[in-house]
Amino acid sequence: MAGVRVVTDSACDLSGELADRYGIDVVPLTIRFGDEELLDRRDLSPGEFWRRCKASASLPETAAPPPGAFRAAYERAGAAGADGVVCLTLSAGVSATYQAALAGAAALEDQLPVVVVDTRSLTMGQGLMCIAAAELAASGAPLDAVVALARDLVGRTHVLGVVDTLDHLQRGGRIGGAAALLGSLLSIKPVIEVRDGVVEQESKQRTRSRALDYLVAKIAASAPLERLAVCDGAAPDIDAVVERLRPVEVDHDLVVTDLGPVVGTHSGPGAIAICYELRPARSRPPVGSTP
């Protein structure tokens, strides 16, 4: 197939069905449970990951793909007739995956044009960028146009989430032990966001229901949106959150997918992530205007 192909990594949380639908090649990160190493979504499904997490006393670990895995993905694109590749990786602020993708591209610089873009995002923030890039590529757009869109989306894509417990954030080094203990005693449920390519605490809410109310209201206030996705980290109330988001004005269908092992390792079970793309500035009504 001629044209531009999109490559990404498994932190994007695209389901197999979505990746196949848009022709996106997903390079898996490695998940380690003790001495056992598993390839994300090849050896380990999100469902199995969450079952293991709930049964294990220790956290799994993640590892970036080797450069050779990215090179192989680029070579597959070339063998399929692509005349260029854009690779969108999870944020370089939280993983060495971006550097591995660059190294894989450097090995093919005289054979196939490959441009690697740091999305400064993760989960379906990254995934929505991949879908938008793949749709543009499928329309016959050249490599530079697809890359330009991807880079523009970096500034328009947002990821917010609610975690059920502070334990995973504390053990992953995101907050201190004293804050985690106090948060647990006070039943604090933090709202987190991806800010400048890293995960930060956006606000503190006293209960999970208040945290979800706050999150849904903030997304609704950001509308109209270009794209919207909800990621389920084995959350018992995911269906209610999805239904509350359905009235939000968005240009494309709402996407619901599983929060996978890469992000789930740090969020813990019960997490919900909401990812969205703002419309381009020229498409948004001026502040204070009447819809």
Backbone angles phi, psi at 146, to 5 degrees: -65, -40
Q: Where are the domains of the chain?
A: 4-154, 157-283
Backbone angles phi, psi at 133, to 5 degrees: -65, -40
What is the rounded distance in angstroms from the CA atom of residue 221 to the CA atom of residue 218? 5
Residue with tokens 């450069």: 67
Assess whether pLDDT exceeds 70 at residue 244.
yes
Q: Looking at the chain, how many residues does it have?
A: 291
Give me the CATH code for the 4-154 domain, please. 3.40.50.10170
- Residue 63: its pLDDT value, please? 95
Q: Where are the beta strands (DSSP E) in the chain?
A: 4-9, 24-27, 30-33, 36-39, 61-63, 84-89, 114-118, 157-162, 189-195, 198-205, 225-233, 255-258, 271-278
Give me the CATH code for the 157-283 domain, please. 3.30.1180.10
Flag the least confident range among 25-39, 79-93, 125-139, 155-169. Answer: 155-169
Per-residue b/e over 115-133, b at no fewer than 16 CB within 10 Å? Answer: bbbbbbbbbbbbbbbbbbb
pTM value is 0.91
Domains 4-154 and 157-283 in one fold: no
What is the rounded distance in angstroms from the CA atom of residue 192 to the CA atom of residue 215? 10
Residue of 36, 107, 28 lying closest to 64 (CA atoms): 28
Assess whether pLDDT exceeds 90 at residue 138.
yes
Digit-coded pLDDT (tens) for 9-52: 999 999 999 999 999 999 999 999 988 999 999 999 999 999 99
Residue of 222, 277, 229 lying closest to 255 (CA atoms): 229
Digit-coded pLDDT (tens) for 199-235: 888 888 888 999 999 999 999 999 999 999 999 999 9
| DSSP per residue, 152-193 | HHHTTEEEEEE-S-SHHHHHTTSS-HHHHHHHHHTT-EEEEE
